[in-house]
Amino acid sequence: MNARSAPARFDRARSSATAFLLEQDGFCLARDLAAPSVRRVAAELDRHFDDTPFCAGDFYGERTKRFGRLLVRSPSMCELVMNPVILTVAQQILGPHCDAIQLNVTQAIEIHPGALAQFPHRDQDMWPGADNAYEFLINVIWPLTPFTEDNGATLLWPRSHGGHDVEPEAAAVASVSDPGDAIIFLGSTLHGAGANLSNTTRRAIVVGYSLGWLKPYENPWLAYPPEIARDFPRGLAELAGYHQHRPNLGNFEGQCPSVLLQDDRPERLGAVDALRPDQAAALADFVAHQLLGASPPLAGPVSHP
């Protein structure tokens, strides 16, 4: 996925303001961004919450329910995943550090009365290489029910992201919000679900976007195998793993895995270079020198099988 794949019409001012706040505070609440889509998703996922067992383990929380693969469970999910304001912000923050961003997860989370507060954490700690010098991830929590101070609204620690101290300087803020709002935060921002002290359940979905060269939290090719992903719009299929991250990362038989979404795939595939322009230029230079009988310059790394 890249900026070219984002739909042409979007609120540029809103994207810029959101990215600014994210970089300043580590999170941002975008009010009333996609209320009709959220209403549809909430209705489509309703029975899945009922059918899903409670989680096990103190991190997820034993009074919570979670399930993934939301793009197969809710036809309207695509509208949230491909929200143009969110995609533009994700591209702006993650784009400089990868060739293409990817979908890291779609997950529904239900927090039941009696749930304890979740362990405060930074999501990008799941990748050992993340030292918070730059962001690996952007998460968007879309409330499906109102988020209140006492029903488990996500807690976020202002300015706990990036190069800021591991111990946050400010107290946590509860993301009090309504369905249609988007709670957006960085991979390095300290956060966690609040305790549910009320007598109603809190429902939300999380959509995460990460650098395209990382192992995603939710395995995209198992969540969305080719027979499912072939019905996705092209930009969504690319985000969900059917895209080669240059150079040559995530290939299938040496080609872009989107070849698996075609009707007329040949029996045998030949591997084809997929290089960034700078790599292609260095390689062309290397090859040209050899063809001219000159000693080739030492080129940078291209790819390693």
Nearest to ligand AKG of 33, 259 (CB atom) = 33
* Region 195-254 residues binding ligand AKG, contact defined as CB under 6 A: 204
Select from 1-9, 191-199, 231-239, 265-273 the region that touches ligand AKG (CB under 6 A). Answer: 191-199
Distance CA 267, CA 205 (A): 40
> Which residues are within 8 A (CB) of 67 and not within 5 positions of it... i.e. 6 or more apart?
48, 49, 52, 73, 107, 108
Select from 186-194, 269-277, 281-289, 292-300 the region that touches ligand AKG (CB under 6 A). Answer: 186-194
Nearest to ligand AKG of 166, 298 (CB atom) = 166
CA dist 282 → 135, 251, 287, 301 (Å): 28, 22, 9, 10
Sign of CA pseudo-dihedral 252, 258, 260, 266: negative
User: How large is the angle between the packed helices 84-94 and 12-25, nearest 10 degrees?
Assistant: 50
Least Cβ distance, residue 118 to ligand AKG (angstroms): 6
Among 30, 103, 109, 130, binds ligand AKG (CB under 6 A): 109
C-alpha Rg value of the chain to the nearest Å: 21
CA dist 108 → 73, 223, 225, 244 (Å): 10, 14, 20, 28
> Which residues are within 8 A (CB) of 37 and not within 5 positions of it... i.e. 6 or more apart?
76, 79, 80, 83
| 172 in contact with ligand AKG (CB under 6 A) | no
Among 86, 190, 193, 207, binds ligand AKG (CB under 6 A): 193
CA dist 260 → 5, 18, 265, 273 (Å): 20, 36, 7, 17
* Region 7-46 residues binding ligand AKG, contact defined as CB under 6 A: none
* Region 68-97 residues binding ligand AKG, contact defined as CB under 6 A: none
Nearest to ligand AKG of 42, 237 (CB atom) = 42
Interface size with ligand AKG, residues (CB under 6 A): 9
Nearest to ligand AKG of 107, 244 (CB atom) = 107
Least Cβ distance, residue 192 to ligand AKG (angstroms): 5
Select from 70-78, 188-196, 220-228, 297-305 the region that touches ligand AKG (CB under 6 A). Answer: 188-196
Least Cβ distance, residue 152 to ligand AKG (angstroms): 7
Nearest to ligand AKG of 46, 278 (CB atom) = 46
Nearest to ligand AKG of 177, 258 (CB atom) = 177
Least Cβ distance, residue 265 to ligand AKG (angstroms): 38
Helices (H), ranges, 101-231: 220-223, 226-229
Select from 88-96, 164-172, 190-198, 268-276 the region that touches ligand AKG (CB under 6 A). Answer: 190-198
Least Cβ distance, residue 119 to ligand AKG (angstroms): 9
Distance CA 172, CA 182 (A): 18
> Which residues are within 8 A (CB) of 288 and not within 5 positions of it... i.e. 6 or more apart?
none
| 192 in contact with ligand AKG (CB under 6 A) | yes
| 191 in contact with ligand AKG (CB under 6 A) | yes
Nearest to ligand AKG of 207, 237 (CB atom) = 207
How many Cβ atoms are within 10 Å of 151's Cβ, its own excluded? 23
Burial of 293 (0-12, 13-18, 19+ CB in 10 A): exposed
Closest CA to 253 of 234, 232, 270, 273: 270
Binding site for ligand AKG (CB under 6 A): 109, 118, 123, 141, 154, 191-193, 204
